[in-house]
Amino acid sequence: MGMGMGMGTALSNIDCVLVRPQHPGNIGAAARALRTMGLSRLLLVAPRCFPDAEANALAAGADALLDAAPVHATLDTTLAGCTLALGLSARRRGVRLDELDPRAGAARAFAHAAAGGRVALLFGNERTGLENDELARCHAMVRIPSVDDFSSLNLAQAVQLMAYELRLCALAAAPVAPMDAADPPAGLREVETFFAHLWQTLDAIDFHKGRAPYTVERRLRRLFLRAQPSLRELRILHGMLADAERMAQLARPDATMRE
Ligand code: SAH
């Protein structure tokens, strides 16, 4: 069977990110879950309690993942270098994201990773899950199709299930064409910088006309995240925004006075 860039290499491009995990035991159990399926990258955002003996106990020998786990204060720094983010959530909320089941989510994550992209799978806090703002940064959400009246799996079990689906992808993997090295998709840091510029320009051209920008911003996020723009494409968009801002500036009633 062909293995493309090597199934290990693809899986090593996938980060499992636990966002604000509450129980150190779940961190350890997640490490074990990943290790059994050949995934190696665990990341923690603002864990309540880590390192912790309970985490090591439940890792059951997968301590290397815990020792290597970067701990970040915010999701921003975690997502900066990644090019595809999928948020695991039991609930649909806010402006709707594309919703995938674990199999389709794993297939999308694996294909992206195998082509050389960097993937983040985001898992939420045990009590509160992922916040709306956290999900809004994702390209799509993955929902494990549990029953409506009891939909939350244990955090580490949700991790296990995704890790298993990714393992199946790796075992079945055919060679994948690498991404266009000359024009790779932009990292999420650059995408966020673009969003900041876009919001600023929409203000400058008075696009919102007094309405709250929130819903429009959510929809525009969805649109641009779906498109997965490259750095070059973002540069063109920045250029357009800069010109729009310049024209808005010229159109101000006092503009000629200042020239
Ligand atoms: N009460 C929280 C559940 C948190 S469970 C909520 O309603 O969102 C902890 C994490 O496990 C979730 O944030 C999610 O990342 C993952 N998870 C649990 N059940 C899931 C499901 N059915 N589908 C997708 N992810 C799930």
pLDDT digits (tens, 9 = 90+) for 232-256: 999 999 999 999 999 999 998 876 5
For position 65, what pLDDT does the model report? 97
Identify whether the C-beta of residue 38 lies closer than 8 Å to the C-beta of residue 106. no
45-103 pLDDT tens trace: 999 999 999 999 999 999 999 999 999 999 999 999 999 999 999 987 766 789 999 99
47 lines ligand 1 (CB under 6 A): no
From 155, 157, 159, 162, the mutation candidate for ligand 1 (largest count of ligand atoms within 8 A of CB) is 155
31 bridge partner residues: none
Amino acid (1-letter code) at residue 68: A
User: Is the pLDDT score of 3 beyond 50?
Assistant: no
Residues 131-171 pLDDT 10s: 999 999 999 999 999 999 999 999 999 999 999 999 999 99
- Measured CA to CA, the distance from residue 167 to residue 10 in angstroms comes to 11
pLDDT at 229 over 60: yes
Span from the CA of 187 to the centroid of ligand 1 (angstroms) = 26
pTM given for the model = 0.86
- What pLDDT does 1 receive? 32
Apex 233 CA angle, 205 and 192, nearest 5: 65
126 C-beta closer than 6 A to ligand 1: yes
Cβ atoms 109, 166 nearer than 8 A:
yes
Average pLDDT, the chain: 92
Would the CA dihedral through 212, 213, 215, 216 be positive or negative? Answer: positive
pLDDT at 184: 86
Ligand 1 lined by 13 (C-beta under 6 Å): no
Q: How far apart are CA 160 and CA 36, in angstroms?
A: 9
C-beta of 144 in contact with ligand 1 (< 6 A): yes
pLDDT recorded at residue 2: 34
Cα separation, 120 vs 116, whole angstroms: 13
Nearest CA to ligand 1 atom 7: 129
Helix (H, G, I), strand (E, B) or coil at 140: strand
Task: Determine the distance separating the centroid of ligand 1 and the alpha carbon of 52, expressed in angstroms.
Answer: 23
Residue 74 has φ and ψ, to the nearest 5°, of -135, 160
Contact 17, 123 (CB under 8 A): yes
pLDDT band of 182, cuts 50, 70, 90? confident
Mutate to test the pocket of ligand 1, among 152, 159, 162, 164 (most ligand atoms within 8 A of CB): 152
Ligand 1 center to residue 144 CA distance, Å? Answer: 8
Q: Is 92 in the pocket of ligand 1 (CB under 6 A)?
A: no
Residue 132 in contact with ligand 1 by CB distance below 6 A? no
Q: Is the pLDDT of residue 34 over 50?
A: yes
